[in-house]
Amino acid sequence: MELFQLSRKSMADFLLSLKGEGELSPKQILQQAWAAAHAKKGISTESFLDTKMPAIFEKLLRADLQRIGFSINEIVALGNQIEFTQLSSTAVQNWVKRDVKNLIGSPQIGKKYSVDQAAMLFIVEDLKATLDFDSIRKMLALLFNDLDDRSDDLIEPIPFYSAYAAIFEKAHHHNILGENMHDGIERCIKQEALQSLDSFQDFTDQQKDIVSNILVTASLTVLSAYYKSLTKKYVTATLFLNG
């Protein structure tokens, strides 16, 4: 059975659709993500029946979008459908109770967390690949203000997640031929971060610097997580074959 995983950009689109925003439904987002991923592998659309659809997706596709919320276990289940992501319920419980409590806040949908809160936790998961929690708290506090009112944020959680996810994908496939690899990737990320600001509200120069720099930071941490995951893959294969 083929496993079903999403890129960060597709997950951001999926989260946005769960809020009833965007042009596509949650089901359409998953269909497009599946088709794009399998087209790269040369797998025909008829093989969709051989794809293992995780229970969390099936559950969310049946959910009432007017009152959708997530338990910690559901956030973990959903987060682990993102490429090279490994969440645990214990870790996320620690985050919401201690490490990023003031960023996430209390559950906003009864006893469950909102879509925005889930996005925030996915952002934290990405940033912790290279940053300590103190740095994460200070950085995200520059972007996100009142937990109960997203209107005063410099940028809302899902658009921020979507923006750096898109930057990562462009940098990851950046053609570095003829230039230093590290300089080329860094330059690409910086350029994409500045360009992405055009999609948002008018910022002051100071706000532009803040959002741009944090987008660059987040994109680099995802790139770091990718290489970490790739490294583990080769170590595991080597030990398995020669252990």
Kindly write down the DSSP assignment for every residue of 175-212, as one continuous string.
Answer: --TTS-HHHHHHHHHHHHHHHHGGGS----HHHHHHHH
What are the pLDDT digits (tens) for 144-184?
976 777 677 889 999 999 999 999 988 877 655 455 566 77
Categorize the per-residue pLDDT at 43 as very low, low, confident or very high, splitting at 50, 70 and 90.
low
203 vs 94, residue with greater confidence: 94
Cβ atoms of 129 and 228 closer than 8 Å: yes
* Cβ-based neighbours of 4, under 8 Å, separated by 6 or more: 30, 34, 51, 52, 53, 54, 57, 81
pLDDT above 70: residue 51: no
Q: How far is residue 140's CA from residue 142's CA, in Å, rounded to a whole number?
A: 5
Nearest to 171 by CA among 106, 220, 111: 220
pLDDT above 50: residue 1: no
pLDDT above 90: residue 59: yes
What are the pLDDT digits (tens) for 96-124?
999 999 999 999 999 999 999 999 999 99
Cβ atoms of 70 and 113 closer than 8 Å: yes
Cβ atoms of 159 and 19 closer than 8 Å: no
Cβ atoms of 125 and 85 closer than 8 Å: yes
Domain encompassing residue 10 = 2-242
pLDDT above 80: residue 40: no
How many domains does the chain divide into? 1
Rounded to the nearest integer, the mean pLDDT of the chain is 87
40 vs 53, residue with greater confidence: 53
Task: Output the pTM of the full model.
Answer: 0.89
Q: How far is residue 120's CA from residue 140's CA, in Å, rounded to a whole number?
A: 9
The DSSP output letter for 96 is I
* Cβ-based neighbours of 126, under 8 Å, separated by 6 or more: 8, 164, 218, 221, 222, 225
Q: How far is residue 116's CA from residue 197's CA, in Å, rounded to a whole number?
A: 20
Cβ atoms of 171 and 188 closer than 8 Å: yes
pLDDT recorded at residue 42: 58
Of 47-56, 107-116, 220-229, the range with the lowest mean pLDDT is 47-56
Q: How far is residue 175's CA from residue 201's CA, in Å, rounded to a whole number?
A: 30
What are the pLDDT digits (tens) for 195-217?
998 887 678 899 999 999 999 99
pLDDT > 90: percent of the chain: 61
pLDDT recorded at residue 46: 55
Q: How far is residue 81's CA from residue 212's CA, in Å, rounded to a whole number?
A: 27
pLDDT recorded at residue 142: 93
- What is the signed CA dihedral for 118, 123, 128, 129, rounded to 10 degrees? 120
